[in-house]
A and B are shown apart, each in its own frame.
Chain A
């Protein structure tokens, strides 16, 4: 079974600084998808960034980028120039693209990010 581990329950960063959130996962598959979701206090989960495992290039979305290490099964999120609005719970998620229940998202336990003014 796939598992996703986020070892940092809480992180904090100074506004305008850079922070990296860690995520590791366990799978025997070679083709899969990884995601970072953000859940602000409003509770609405928002997709931040996604990575296809077959792509070697790390995904980037504006101030958000990932460091995808397939061999190490590591998928960290880097937030550059942190803003107060980045404060939220961040969830790492895995999806196996094969049919059936394995296609559904498996989430980590989350990292609560605080941005300090």
Chain B
């Protein structure tokens, strides 16, 4: 595997389910990001991790819980989501937080029923 990978690519869940999104980067980067991409809206930054430490939380509801066990892996745990949370969730990485170039994964298309 190369670059940034995300699993699953598609996820359908009910509002009472608990699920997790996984992101893995094979680039030796130290910073990882979660973005939310809703239809006809700009990408919204959700979380930033730099050297496994969370450095940004852009007022994301607590039903989204990130986890970064090491610099290569990033998870987004989902719990009691709402239909309006349906979106494409993109993971990205960069050498350091705030570095010019972020490398993106293919995203997870999430549908909340």
Contacts and interface: CB of A to CB of B under 8 A. Distances in A.
Interface string B17-51: 00000000000000001000000111101001000
Contacts of A47: 101-103
B48 A104 contact: yes
A9 B97 CA distance: 30
Contacts of A9: 40
Given A42-B106, A108-B42, A50 B101 contact: yes
Interface in A76-117: 91, 95, 97, 99, 101, 103-110
A105 B45 contact: yes
A66 interface: no
Given A104-B56, A109-B41, A45 B100 contact: no
A107 B97 contact: no
Contact of B90 (A45, A50, A95): A45
Q: How large is the interface on A (under 10, 10 to 19, 20 to 34, 35 or more residues)?
A: 20 to 34
B40 A101 contact: no
Interface string B37-77: 00011110100100000001010000000000000000000
Interface of A: 4, 9, 33, 35, 37, 42-47, 50, 91, 95, 97, 99, 101, 103-110
Interface of B: 33, 40-43, 45, 48, 56, 58, 88, 90, 92, 97-98, 100-107, 109
29 contacts: A9-B40, A35-B100, A37-B104, A42-B106, A43-B106, A43-B109, A44-B104, A44-B107, A45-B90, A45-B102, A45-B104, A47-B102, A47-B103, A50-B100, A95-B98, A101-B56, A101-B58, A103-B97, A103-B98, A104-B33, A104-B45, A104-B48, A105-B43, A107-B42, A107-B43, A108-B42, A109-B40, A109-B41, A110-B42
